Amino acid sequence: MKAILQAEQISKTYQTKTARHEALRPTTLRVHEGEFVSIMGPSGAGKSTLLNLLSTIDQPTDGSILINGADVTAMKEKQLARFRREQLGFIFQDFNLLDTMTVRENIALPLSLANVDKKMILERVDRVARQLGIYDLLDKRPVELSGGQKQRTAAARAIIHDPSLILADEPTGALDSKSATGLLEAMQSLNNEGATILMVTHDPMTASYAERILFVKDGELFKEVHRFGSQKEFFEQIMEVQRELGGAVRELV
């Protein structure tokens, strides 16, 4: 199976005048095409640092990161900006929608910025809106939407350009349980259709929608677990790892 994301011995060290902090120790990982992977770990464990590196928001101190075969650690900022637009999709906790635009315009924004043909934009917006169950909301503005509808709109915008990798940072953090379940089921459906997703979450139930979980502790990968059996059984497996971590995972941010 093709590796969409390959991180080889990446690390991150912060140096101040008086101290040296190793936020992430040398770490190697793979995310293959069509996988749905979640990252969990205690507050301060390094999971946010890891996500920032993998999403090209920050640069590793050492090591390399290949996304869809391209070495993003060797790119200049202009190259990285273009790469992000074309290859990555981001779903954030705070939605980041533009209130002056309709749902349709918010979803279409990445394609509009890339000067894609208007007819093609409309066709793609209709397709992803139907996928995520927000087709009837296309002419509304964000202020008219519920939290769950806003997050689905953000998810639609993240996938409109068919990215190689979707990165989700606490996507259910601002949602009630019903809206969170709706979003996760939609993400799971996208994954079943071939989307590759890497998600950071503090919530075991949210993580149980993934098929593989990477636990981070003390700046390094602590354990990896794979789904087996039902979602309920996978959830229990996640909780067992939390107990191994001494309950620290309950303090996730």
Query: Exposure of 199 by Cβ count < 10 A (0-12 exposed, 13-18 middle, 19+ buried)?
Result: buried
What are φ and ψ of residue 234, in 5° steps? -65, -40
Amino acid at 34: G
Strand order in the sheet with 165-169: 88-91, 165-169, 197-200, 36-40, 212-217, 220-226
Q: What is the pLDDT of residue 248?
A: 45
What are φ and ψ of residue 21, in 5° steps? -115, 120
Domain positions in the chain: 3-96+167-252
- Strand 165-169 and strand 197-200: the pairing is parallel
Structure tokens at 141: 């503005």
Residue 137 DSSP class: G
Q: Is the distance from CB of 27 to CB of 220 less than 8 angstroms?
A: yes
| CATH class of residue range 3-96+167-252 | alpha beta
* pLDDT tens series, the chain, 253 aa: 799 999 999 999 998 888 888 999 999 999 999 999 999 987 778 888 999 999 999 999 999 999 999 999 999 999 999 999 899 999 988 888 999 999 999 999 999 988 899 999 999 999 999 989 999 999 999 999 999 999 999 999 999 999 999 999 989 988 889 999 999 999 999 999 999 999 999 899 999 999 999 999 989 999 999 998 999 999 999 999 988 876 544 333 3
- In angstroms, the CA 27 to CA 23 distance is 11
- Strand 220-226 and strand 70-71: the pairing is unpaired
Burial call 78-113: b when 16+ CB within 10 Å, e when fewer: eebeebbeebbbbbbbebebeeeebbbbbbbbbbee
